[in-house]
Amino acid sequence: MLALGVYSYITYRLGKKALDKKPMISAEAMIGSRCKTTTVLAPEGYVRLGGELWRASSSSTVNAGEEVIVTGIEGMTLLISPISNENQENETGAHLS
């Protein structure tokens, strides 16, 4: 009986700690953020943003492991757009001439 009481107390404390945790990123701050796909988006899948796994939707197919940008939020689903190669080159300063 004592073991059950100890187990209940420990699981209660761990559960309460997880529920009291604040979100890592606000919804407004996520728009424009870059993240990586963890699954193929065809048109839905998952991305990792700020250490959290989010459901995502894209208008085009995006392979797993690609870098994408958050363009909006619909409920608990991130709206994703692939980053074009031209944009990546312009931002990193690499130009092909």
Residue 68 · residue 36 · CB < 8 Å = yes
Q: Tell me the mean pLDDT in the region 86-93.
A: 47
Q: Judge if pTM exceeds 0.95.
A: no
Reported as a single tens digit per residue, the pLDDT across 22-54 is 666 677 778 898 999 999 998 899 999 888 899
Query: Confidence band (pLDDT; 50, 70, 90) for 17?
Result: confident
Quote the number of domains for the chain: 1
* Domain harbouring 33, CATH code: 2.40.50.140
Residue 60 · residue 91 · CB < 8 Å = no
Inside any domain, residue 1 = no
DSSP annotation string for the chain: -HHHHHHHHHHHHHHHHHHHPPPSS-HHHHTT-EEEESS-BSSEEEEEETTEEEEEEESS-B-TT-EEEEEEEETTEEEEEEPPHHHHHHHHT----
Inside any domain, residue 32 = yes
Inside any domain, residue 12 = no
Q: Which domain holds residue 55?
A: 25-92
Inside any domain, residue 45 = yes
Inside any domain, residue 5 = no
Inside any domain, residue 47 = yes
Inside any domain, residue 15 = no
Inside any domain, residue 3 = no
